[in-house]
Structure 1
Amino acid sequence: MMMVGAGSFQTPGGVPPLPPPPREGATGRSLSAKARAPTVLGLLAAVVLVMLTLGLGANLVFLYRDGVERGEAQVLALRDGAREQAAAAVSRIDLLLSGLTEGLALRPEVERWGDAGIHALLVRQRALLPMVRGIIVTNEAGRLTHDSEAAIPANMDLSDRDYVRALRADPQSGLYIGEPVRGRTSGRWFISMSRRFTDQQGAFKGVVTAVVDPVALGTVFSPFLPGAGGELEVLRDDGRVLLHLPDFERFMGAARGHQSFFRDVLAAAPSGSIRVAGSTEESVYRLEGGEAGLFFTWATVPGSPLLVTVSASYDGLLRSWWQVLPYHLGAIACIILVILALVLKVHRQIRHLNGLIVALSNREAALVAARRSSEEANRAKTLFLANMSHELRTPLNAIIGFSDMLANGIHGALADRQQDYARDINLSALHLLDLINDILDVAKIESGGYLLHERPCNLAAIIRAAERMLGPRVREKGLVMDTVCVDGEAWVMADERAMQQVLLNLLSNAVKFTPEGGRITVSLGLNEGGGMVLVVGDTGPGIPAEHLALVLEPFYQVGEVETRSHEGTGLGLPLAKALVEKHEGALRLDSQPGQGTRVSVTLPAARVLPPQRPPVEAKP
């Protein structure tokens, strides 16, 4: 039986080496696979090329649509910015004119032609807005009376100007934006923005006009002009063009109100956008080379009778797409060539791969056989340990019983030396029995054969029982044992025998390694998560950091000095850790040389029972 048991511990020495690849034509299956490989590879290459071409084509379409959407979004953003800029410019000019009309109504010298004080006021106000070329004042008859650009204004009749006629006729009118006209003295284009002013009795006294320079206004709006042939225009709500970028001279003052595009599209909605298929006569703008179409958008300016339009050709919006198109086509060609080269290379390696596949299949079979052999060896080991423990327990029980009878003098008194021998035999047998039980428990846990017999148990009572069992050894070494429990009872659902073994193993280690006069502490309580925590600490020599993980392995002991001065097999901590983990708990070891050791056992909150719960029998 010993020979069989010893043999059962042996494991396979290694996986057999890879067998040589089979010769070509060794089996019908390999011949068939090799015959089909070129055809399958060709079909696969064709499918990959088609899918790649379709994918890259779809990517080009996506980039095209993305370019269109991004370009249109950019044009819309420029339109909104131009609208906000127009609203701000009109608001500033209107604010300036409103202040002037209120101030002039209080100054009677405004009726004196070329008054120096009025001239100085106009000069100061004109300097506030760079886009305003000048400020003029006409009286109720339409005669020029004051001019910020001339201390002595020209003798000029402006009663025919649209802004004079409109403001004289409408007492309720606010800011009036006139048609672009050329100055009679300068010959330069300007846009008039005017307000009527009255005296304190409300009688019409004239018009204050801001002469807006289109060139300066164009500088303000130029950041909102789309690149690549884009155009921007500011119109009155009747279709009169006030500003056109670029080339404002060509379109200055043009009338759009008669065009059907203006009537049916621009005047029909306060804002919107449209895709124009080409440059038609009905378009507000006609771009050069616009066969590809353009994107046109408009919006009214809040608080003023103005309309802002922005347009850009799709050729310009997609310029980046046209630039990257050759690179995409080149990439497609290069990838196709690379794929063809890879197909040829893979074709040359097909036969070699077939051989490797067969070899790997053989290796897999060998690994399966090795695993099966290892499992059989593990089962044989467990069976061997169980048989050996049974075989050893029988004589050990006899040795323990007879040695105890001899030591106690049941069949006659022994000499002192004989009695000491009997006690030594009894203690050694008990120690060997404990060792056998520990080894068997470790083997059962490793093989999954250890079953828990769970029932409600009181950890506080287990601690008190363990203290009584180890009391003589504690007193013999002169140790101090302190116990700190939150409650007199601490009920958990667990295997009582297993928890007793865990606590005895931890306390036995503490007593064993704590020097004379040392202290052992046992604490029990709940953590923040509601789990039960048992802590055993001692003032022993401690464990170096590099050995903390190793002492939890079976049969490992720290250092030669400890091994020689203390008995033990190195199974106490590993067995305790395994039993705790069987309860879904955790065992943690904290120690530093010279500062003692602290072992924490944590059971999950699901195993903690309500306080003062009486023990009940576990249901079968």
Structure 2
Amino acid sequence: MAVPGSDSLPSQHLAGLARALRGRLGSIRFLITASGLAFILVVDALIGYGLIQGRHEALDAGERATRDLARMLESQTMRTAFAVDQLLRDLTFALDTLPDGGRRGDPLIHDHLRQRRTAFAEVSGLLVVGRDGFALHHSADTPLPPVALSDRSYFTEPRDQPDRQLFVGAPIASRVAPGTRVIPFSRRWESGKEEIGKNGGDGFRGVVVAMVDTTRLAATLESQGIDRKGSVILALEDGTLLLERPQDRHRIAQLADWPAVWRMLAERDEATIRTAAPGSPTNAAGTPTGVDSLISVRRVQGYPFVIVATLPVAAVLADWQRDAAAWTAIGTVMTIAIALLTAFVVRQHARREEDQARLGRASRRIRGILDSMLDAVVTFDTAGRIVTFNRAAESMFGIPEREMVGQPIEALIPDARGGANDRDLTALRRDGLAFPVGFTVSDLRLDGSPGAPAVRPASFGTLEPDEPRIYVGVIRDMTRRKQQEAELIASKTQAELANRAKSEFLANMSHELRTPLNAIIGFAEVLDSEFFGPMNDRQKSCVADVHDSGQHLLDIVNAVLDMSKLEAGRFELCEEAVEAHEAVAQCLMMVRDRAASGGVALNNGITAVVAMLWVDRRAFKQVILNLLSNAVKFTPAGGSVTLAADFEGDGGFRLEVTDTGIGIPPDFMADLFQPFRQAENSANRRFEGTGLGLSISKNFVDLHGGTLTCRSTTGAGTTMTVRLPASRVIDHPARTGSQVAGHAAGGAA
């Protein structure tokens, strides 16, 4: 039997549940909470996916880094091996060329070996072994060792294998430098085909050996930027270790002790794997377990070398682990921030009235700020009608605010509706007087839309008229600024005209003065030669004074003329090939007498440097002469002036003039190359001169694309350095034998 109304109960419950669900879903708190939870889930999922991808990318980057390191070291090893091989080829050619190549202990060949050893940084010694196994020549300063070397692999391998090009042996202890290990590189030395046919035999004359210092080779490899967290091994094809950096990182005697790498080398010439590398980590029993590492192995093409580069996986993933921790922290912070934001939004409704009151107070504060400003501030609507007018505007235009409210902005600034912002315009005061002003307009929104900027630059008249916004115009009186700008332009124009007039006057007057000065000097020379009759000693002294004074004045006029041409940009270089040492020698001859009379020693240290330069001969010699003259002039008796020259690493040429004189005060260094400037400007200064020498010298060097610099210590001396670019050097650097210093280290093993 059915109960009356029983069918309506489920429907009532469903209707109530639906209403409750609609009310719950319509709740702002529920919607914000659900949105925050969904956002947290999405962000955490993205962070997790990014971390997984980042780990894969970090491992891929580590593999590329190990491959790049192995390739870089392979390239360096190939360059070193090729250079040593070429050195040995050159030595065999020199031994065949020199008549005493086969004579034991020839001094000429000994000097040649020392020079070649000195020129090659990685080579600690060179050795020539005869066919009998005894040393014929070596590069050491000690006598030839009487010990037979026929049992050494670097001798037997080239002897027994005529077709072998270059032999590289395992590291051995040097007999000349105790405690030093060297790697022997050797080549077979044999007679030419004509000599073999003439004398018979197999043509074997001996072996040429280069001993490569392992420490120097390691320094060369380390200079390639090995990561401090990684390591590199250089070994022979048979597994013999030549170098390991960092040293003893893997604790193996040869590559055969590293099965994974040895198997990989047996299968291919180049590969990158991830496996355990021998190292420090140990298990509970104290047995080394190795380090999880990325390993790249390469065979050096054409040479018997193997490169092994390793990078610990922990080092590869170190940055990723830090990023993972950071992103995990970010996810946690974002979760907390969203929860706090939810609570914050719910409370915003209660604070609305408080915000309205705060906004009213802020409005009054802003009005007070506007009234306290020194610049005129005017607000107006989209139609250009003035809304507010601060006190500075009342003072500037002479009109009270009550009379200007509702008036068009054009009543103050006729061109206010132009498109450009922050521009100079003309304003009108109440009495009709016009004056320049700066006018800046900003757009102020009043609709309170969230996310909209309160104030932004605007172009008046370009916005929609239905938007509830006004404009804020800042007006600044520019009368004084315009006057200052006009005065500055007038002063600049007068200075440029005066400088141009000065340069033209100096150029014209210097040219006009040289003609009578040449005549004075010429007549003084004629009188000194006694062409018109003999003169007494008093007369000859006066004539000499006239000649020296005229020559000195002519030098000053020439310097002024050169300076005026340089300032006017009209000095033209007459370039030609100039030998540097010859030009320096000529300049030294010019200052020799003055240096001797002053007790100053001249030291020419560039006779061993041969360089052909493409320069203006007169300008180049003038620079050297000016520097030498200054050095001699400011060096007291008993001092010295030294010239030195060398080639820069980029192929440029460097010339230095160093003196032991009085030096240059530090406060004068900034004005050192300015014309007509001297450290002593008083009328009773101790040293003569116009102060043009260094300025002209610097301009000459600048015209050649070089630099002129100065280093000086007061009371200790000064060094002036001239640098010319490589484009000015037209010959390769060459040095005489006296400049090649021998080194005692190295020798035969």
Range into which the TM-score falls when normalised by the shorter chain: 0.3 to 0.5
When the two structures are superposed, what TM-score results if normalisation uses the length of structure 1? 0.48
Which structure would you say has the larger Rg? 1
More helix by share: 1
When the two structures are superposed, what TM-score results if normalisation uses the length of structure 2? 0.40
